Amino acid sequence: MSVFSFAAVLAAAPASELEARVRGLFPAPPHAVQVGRQAALAGGRIWRRGHCRLVGRVRIDNGPELRSALGLASGEDAELVLAAWARWGAESPRRLVGDFAFVLWDEEKRILLAARDGLGMATLCYRRQRDLLLLAGETEQLLGKERPALRLVTLAGWLGGWPDPHASLFEGVEVLPPGHALVVEGGRVSVSSFWRIDPARKVRYRSLEEYAEHLAELLSRAVRDRLRSPFPRVATQMSGGMDSTSVTALAAEAREKELLVVSHTYDNTRSCDEQALVREMQSHLGLTDVRLLPAESFLDLGYRFLYPPARESPGTVLSPRYREEVKLVAQAGAGVLLTGSGGDELTWGHALTYLQRLKRGEVGVVAEVVRGCREQQLPVLRTLWQLFGSPLVPEGVRRTLGRADGRRLPEWIRPEAVRRFDLKARLLEEPPAGFANPALEARWQALRRSATYNAVRSWAKVAESREVEVRHPFFDTRLVEFSFAVPDHLWNREGYPKWLLRKAMSNRLPEAVCWNRKKVVFDDFFVKVIRSRPEQVRETLLHPWLEEAGLLDRQALLRAWEETVAGRRPFHVDLLYALMTQAWVERETAGEA
């Protein structure tokens, strides 16, 4: 187990029997601590305070506020959690801001508390096995070499491009949802929410400058909070986009650590390359240590070896690209790597905002869209229809006209599976958060199922072996609450997505970066990935297990891939999800008769 991994066991068995079971479930654990008829295992350290013990991954961002409330002069983050438990008991998780997944055992009260942060940056899963309740930071720790049945509905979500990043793929294993706590007391297990978005919350100022200042303050705090480490240097990922450049600029502004900047080059895929903007940032900020890594250096390996899946999910991949970057960061003496992940989800806004503005009587929004189309050379009439016309057409009419919206399942999901598992209702119809504004509701649902969680977990999995922690300042509950509380039109304004972020960073970033309208996407690179070693990709796509399980039409999937590779069909992320899922199933079912 690595320094960021942990597991805990709660049982009603005699201590000697329990210890034997624990060692059978978790071979050679670094620690196995008996507490009466309880046991806790930790990959790195067990924190103690009086009669309480805690294991897990804990990084607390509101430490100063907590220390003030608790009357403490100092203390590690895990010690703050223990002190918070002593003061507030089961209410303590809602007082915490940061990335955490921990298990706390109170010997005196005979209560176990497990909690996971509001945005799910750390993971925590659990299962019951006879009279044992097993909890761990990773599914693999719970399963070992065991291969339980796979959850077909969860797999269908991945295969169809609508995965739930917080759902388990294994029968009998549950993932504690973000912002939830699990409590065991008196033999009873209960799970409840301690953090969720408040649709009624509003942040209102008189001027645009006040909104921008508030955002800059929150993002700057989120970056500074994530600079903490015992290492002299911190690294940042930096492309030419708004999110990673903002994080890098604020990390440089803090002047708390020496800064190492890592960027990727795409010499043979010019549509993905942002070296000119990286150089602009280097000059503007006076960056002295910028390392360029060629992203295409591993293409010849083919998809199977470029993105091998971890056991946790199809989206958690152990790419040699990531390993190379983490190795560079570790060898440079940096224990933290900051990313811009989450920036799109929190600051891009939503296209529905334009229609909401028109409904509120802002007729000038139409002229604003027309200007933006002309500046970006976009088709005016088509864009106006997409923003103002199409959303008003009832779904039933769109289906009749063959123009159903994007919430669909791809053709390789078998129709009988859609009916059998009621997939359209279970995958495409999310329980609402309660926003009155459809644009905010759509943004929240997009955040909850964001593909960015794949990158978050992939980087965490790869980096832990090097004792590097990858942190994501945009994934901060304080920023999330602000993002959904301000007027929605601040994110889409004057033809710019991320307008408020641009306004907040306009004095910190060069104009060529801050007000650049071009959004780089990596479709061309991924087409190269699925074209590389085609025989390898074909073999993975034709793996039979999901078809035999009744979910997949392999020939339909193969046709989609062949048409995409041949250029007869535009690349769509659904195809990448299907490939990821087939690769994961291929790995998980290897050796089955």
User: Do 425 and 371 sit in the same domain of this protein?
Assistant: yes
Which of these, 588, 542, 583, 590, lies nearest to 562 by C-alpha position? Answer: 542
Which residues, 6 or more positions from 79, have their beta carbon under 8 angstroms from its beta carbon?
A: 47, 49
Joined together, the tokens standing for residue 228 give: 């903490």
Does residue 405 lie in a domain region?
A: yes
Domain final residue, candidates 159, 193, 227? 193
Residue 592 falls inside a structural domain: yes
CB within 8 Å of 364: residues ≥ 6 apart? none
Q: Which two tokens stand for residue 281?
A: 């940032």
- Tell me how crowded residue 385 is: count the other CB atoms within 10 A of its CB: 13
263 pairs with which residues across the strands? 292
Q: Which range of residues forms the domain containing residue 33?
A: 6-193
Helices (H), 255-351: 275-285, 303-306, 320-331, 343-347
Residue pair 481/198 in contact by the 8 Å Cβ criterion: yes
* pTM of the entire predicted model: 0.90
* 467 Cβ neighbours under 8 A, 6+ residues apart: 2, 3, 330, 335
CA–CA gap between residue 241 and residue 225 (Å, rounded)? 22
Q: How many domains does the chain have?
A: 2
Residue 29 located in a structural domain: yes
C-alpha span between 72 and 84 (Å, rounded): 11
415: its two tokens: 């129709």
Domain boundary among 193, 216, 247: 193
483 and 548 belong to one structural domain: yes
Closest CA to 175 of 124, 108, 136, 248: 124
Extract long-range pairs of 320-328: CB within 8 Å, 24+ residues apart: 321/293, 321/295, 321/297, 322/458, 322/459, 322/462, 322/463, 323/462, 324/293, 325/237, 325/262, 325/293, 326/459, 326/462, 326/463, 326/465, 326/466, 326/468, 326/470, 327/466, 328/262, 328/291, 328/293
Do 97 and 217 sit in the same domain of this protein? no
How high is the pLDDT of residue 399?
52
Could you tell me which of 193, 202, 203, 201 has the C-alpha nearest to residue 431? 193
Same-domain check for residues 305 and 263: yes
Whether residues 160 and 232 share a domain: the answer is: no
Quick one: 96 and 230 in the same domain? no
State whether 244 and 363 are in the same domain. yes
Quote the strand ranges of 425-572, DSSP E.
469-471, 492-493, 496-497
Tokens 């706390």, residue located: 104
| Confidence at residue 391, expressed as pLDDT on a 0 to 100 scale | 80
Q: Are 213 and 131 in the same domain?
A: no
Q: Which two tokens stand for residue 104?
A: 């706390």
Q: Of 193, 218, 240, which residue is a domain's last?
A: 193
Tell me if 547 is assigned to some domain: yes
CA 307, chain centre distance (Å)? 17
Tokens read off for 579:
């490939």
* Whole-number pLDDT of residue 520: 83
Model pLDDT for residues 177-191, shown as the tens digit of each residue: 999 999 988 878 899
Q: Please check whether residues 275 and 144 belong to one and the same domain.
A: no
Residue pair 339/347 in contact by the 8 Å Cβ criterion: no
Q: How far is CA 577 from CA 82, 230, 313, 367, in A?
A: 40, 38, 11, 38
| CA 264 to each of CA 239, 282, 359, 510, 518: distance values in angstroms, whole numbers, following the listed order | 7, 14, 43, 20, 18
Query: Contact, 116 vs 122, CB < 8 A?
Result: yes
CA distance 493 to 362: 12
Domain CATH number, residue 185: 3.60.20.10
Q: Which of 355, 521, 348 is nearest to 447 (CA)?
A: 348
Indicate whether 106 belongs to any domain: yes
Give me the pLDDT at residue 7, please: 53
Same domain, 236 and 356: yes
User: What gap in Å lies between CA 549 and CA 408, rounded to an integer?
Assistant: 21
Task: Report which of 271, 502, 516, 494 is spatially closest to residue 373, judged by C-alpha positions.
Answer: 494
Tens place of pLDDT per residue across the chain (593 aa): 232 345 555 544 444 444 444 444 443 333 333 333 344 444 457 888 999 989 889 999 999 999 999 999 988 999 999 999 999 999 999 999 999 999 998 989 989 999 999 999 999 999 887 777 888 888 888 888 889 999 999 999 999 999 999 999 999 999 999 999 999 888 788 999 999 999 999 999 999 999 999 999 999 999 999 999 999 999 999 999 999 999 999 999 998 899 999 999 999 888 888 999 999 999 999 999 999 999 988 888 888 899 999 999 999 999 999 999 999 999 999 999 999 999 999 999 998 998 888 898 888 889 888 888 887 778 888 888 888 888 877 765 555 444 444 568 899 999 999 999 888 888 777 788 999 999 999 999 999 989 999 999 999 999 988 889 999 999 999 999 999 999 999 999 888 999 999 999 999 999 999 999 888 888 788 888 888 888 899 999 999 999 999 999 999 999 999 999 888 998 888 999 999 999 999 999 986 64
DSSP-derived 3-state class of residue 170: strand
For residue 407, the model assigns a pLDDT of 61
Residue 1 lies in a domain: no
Taking the C-alpha atoms of residue 90 and residue 86, their distance in angstroms, rounded to an integer, is 9
Res 30: pLDDT? 34
Does 259 lie in the same domain as 224?
yes
Residues 188 and 220 both lie in one domain: no
